[in-house]
Structure 1
Amino acid sequence: MTDNALSPAEYDAITDAAAHWCMRLHADDCTAQERLAFERWRDAHPLHAFEYQAMLEIWDVAGDLPRPEPVVAPMVQAKPRTPWRTLGIAASVCALALPLAAYSGWNLGWLPNSYQHFEATDSVRQVTLQDGSQVELNLGSELTYSHYKDQRRVTLKKGEAFFSVTHDTTHPFVVKAGEGKIRVTGTRFNVWMYEDQVKVNLIEGSVLVSSHDDASGDGLRLRPAMQASYQQGDRVPRISQTDDHDNSLAWRSGKLVLDDLALSDALPLINRYLKQPLMIADHGTGAIRIGGVYNIKELDTLVATLPKVLPVYLTRNKDGNPVLNSTPQQSPKS
């Protein structure tokens, strides 16, 4: 069959099947036979894989559902039950396969009434969120937006984004990045993420930054020209002042500015744009300093040119990643 030949009923059946497989594959008791059956179903038609991927995105959104309070009951021998969280997510996957605004979870503040997904691959991309907020996405970046009854929620899945948030005190704007989050009502700020590292630069307004979902309070407040950074395991973000020559937003003009940085500090900024991350052999190599202005679309060529401008040479590790090694200093001849 072809996509053009599908009836509305057939489309609905595929959506229902995608929701079913999404729930089963996330269940603890999913068997190897079921996984093989899913693979056969997914590969049977391109639309199957497309609908299943859409369900996975919905599953991510539903993962933020609040957990119901457990009911205390007399202890009896019973078959192990699916955890409440999984049941809640499963219910929301089914519900989100229907018109979002009609589901009662909206009134409870559990589910969004709109959902958007954006990616930027080979060029910087500007998008408008459902609430009117503007977002610029750097190369290789991805985020989702969900509009709830009591808040607006963004998940930065990877990369970097500059936000110009529409002011709305009744619906805080929350950006989840890594293990932490940034909470605002209306402002302009930049969020950079690479692996488990996150950096937030505030341009205008104020934001509250927390480095962990379980942290107490709303987080630390930033004022304009301040920066917060955190990584996995940090209980509180590190706060610093940005100087007048801060170049963290140069990507919006297609540039990466390295201002006399140690290679160990420059590599996370460079690797954000590389298909294979560049590594350093040791602390001595990491201490070598690098500067310059580079086109973010041409950073692959930077790796090959580094031995021409720095005292380093390239090797490959067992995973095939390029590794920078410092060039041994020759002893002067006597």
Structure 2
Amino acid sequence: MSETRPTEAENDVITEAAAQWCMRLHEPDCTLQERDAFAVWLNTDPRHAVEYEAMLDIWDVSEHLSRPAPAEARVIALPAPRRTTWQRFAVAAAVTLLAVPVAAYSGWQLGWIPDAHERFTADTRAKTVTLPDGSQVELNLGTQLTFSNYKDERRVTLGKGEAFFKVSHDVSHPFLVQAAEGQVRVTGTQFNVWMYEDQVRVTLLEGSVLVTSNKHLSGDGLRLEPGMQARYKAGDYAAQISQTSTGMPDLAWRNGKLVLDNLSLADALPLINRYLDSPLSVADSATGKLRIGGVFNTREIDHLVTSLPKVLPVYLSRTTDGRPVLNARTSL
């Protein structure tokens, strides 16, 4: 018995429903009853989940779209729209563009709509992917990123994790990596971006990049040369620049290693927690000042956690919700 393929009309209905759910669920007044109804819809057909994921991609991309300026003859003073208003428009427009190639071409020409958009993930195994522009990206464990190709720029959004970029050179088509609230701008080079929660580190191996801690600030940012590293976190006015080795330890993950070079526990935990399902914390500042060093397998970081009490004067306890905490042992 042959399998019945969905008709184009059925696919259009699913696409439109996914767009409506995406917009509604992002509204602050969305009710629990509506969320329950969405869960029922999502589980009714496997195609629903696939199409909804596609709409979430469009929603994420729309956050970075340029707002079109009104015609000069009709410029009037209006309050700036909420981000969700623009995203609602982008999602609704995307549904229309799927069916109207001419409109999609116009959106591309104006720089509003990408002609390529892909999502890449590396969960329990690192991987190397080739982007549509020919750039290569190595993804560390637990990494998520998306790529969008616009007429005037190539844009990557690092959702979480760590990635090493070998960017295809194109001066007229700059390559942007957005991580937390900041941005890295290049034309062609090799560099590493590490992100944990709102902390970001950019390490340059070859070429040059411009780093800004807040992509909404004016100016091009701070320029890195090979062997330099920029660090920032959400809310920083500017990134902190330092000299670093382009080999170990920042790029050791490419060989499946985590290198801790005599770091305080406070500085080491963000590097360790990247590989843990349940993040580790310290009980107090005294515990955070203890130092740790060594080379560890990124696939066996759980073993590092359990062995810490054997190499440091600490013991493990648990919070009420089961998260592990390191406590310094008091001397007798």
Q: TM-score, normalised by structure 2?
A: 0.90
Match of 2:50 in 1: 50
**Which of residues 207, 226, 229 is equivalent to 1:227?**
229
Equivalent pair of 2:249/2:259 in contact (CA under 8 Å):
yes
TM-align CA RMSD: 2.5
The answer to whether the aligner puts 1:62 opposite 2:74 as a matched pair is no
Q: How far apart are the structure 1 equivalents of 2:185 and 2:138?
A: 18
Question: What is the SS of the residue equivalent to 1:252?
Answer: helix
**Which of residues 280, 288, 291 is equivalent to 2:290?**
288
Which stretch shows the higher mean deviation, 26-35 or 115-124? 26-35
Match of 2:123 in 1: 121
- Match runs of 1:1-334 below 5 Å: 5-27=5-27, 30=30, 34-69=34-69, 84-95=85-96, 97-98=98-99, 103=104, 104-243=106-245, 246-330=248-332
Post-superposition CA distance 1:215-243 (Å, at most 9, x none): 12011100100000000110110011114
Relative distance call for 1:90 and 1:258 in structure 2 (3 A) is same
Q: How far apart are the structure 1 equivalents of 2:127 and 2:138?
A: 6
Which stretch shows the higher mean deviation, 282-291 or 168-177? 282-291
Q: TM-score, normalised by structure 1?
A: 0.90
Equivalent pair of 2:55/2:91 in contact (CA under 8 Å):
no
Paired amino acid for 1:208: L
Paired amino acid for 1:200: V
Equivalent pair of 2:226/2:246 in contact (CA under 8 Å):
no
Paired amino acid for 2:267: D
Equivalent pair of 1:58/1:96 in contact (CA under 8 Å):
no
- Length, aligned pairs only: 325
Relative distance call for 1:83 and 1:130 in structure 2 (3 A) is closer
Relative distance call for 1:58 and 1:4 in structure 2 (3 A) is farther
Unaligned runs of 5+ in 2: none
Q: How far apart are the structure 2 equivalents of 1:74 and 1:196?
A: 35
Relative distance call for 1:181 and 1:74 in structure 2 (3 A) is closer
Deviation at 1:7, TM superposition (A): 3.0
Deviation at 1:244, TM superposition (A): 6.7
Relative distance call for 1:154 and 1:3 in structure 2 (3 A) is farther
Deviation at 1:97, TM superposition (A): 3.9
Q: How far apart are the structure 2 equivalents of 1:244 and 1:20?
A: 47
Q: How far apart are the structure 2 equivalents of 1:178 and 1:159?
A: 11
Relative distance call for 1:17 and 1:305 in structure 2 (3 A) is same
Which stretch shows the higher mean deviation, 317-326 or 199-208? 317-326
Equivalent pair of 1:100/1:113 in contact (CA under 8 Å):
no
Question: What is the SS of the residue equivalent to 1:22?
Answer: helix
Equivalent pair of 2:231/2:241 in contact (CA under 8 Å):
yes
Q: How far apart are the structure 1 equivalents of 2:102 and 2:154?
A: 15
Q: How far apart are the structure 1 equivalents of 2:290 and 2:209?
A: 35
Unaligned runs of 5+ in 1: none
Relative distance call for 1:100 and 1:198 in structure 2 (3 A) is farther
Paired amino acid for 1:138: N
Deviation at 1:124, TM superposition (A): 1.0
Identity of aligned residues (%): 58
Paired amino acid for 2:92: A
Question: What is the SS of the residue equivalent to 1:190?
Answer: strand
Q: How far apart are the structure 1 equivalents of 2:83 and 2:136?
A: 40
Question: What is the SS of the residue equivalent to 1:111?
Answer: coil
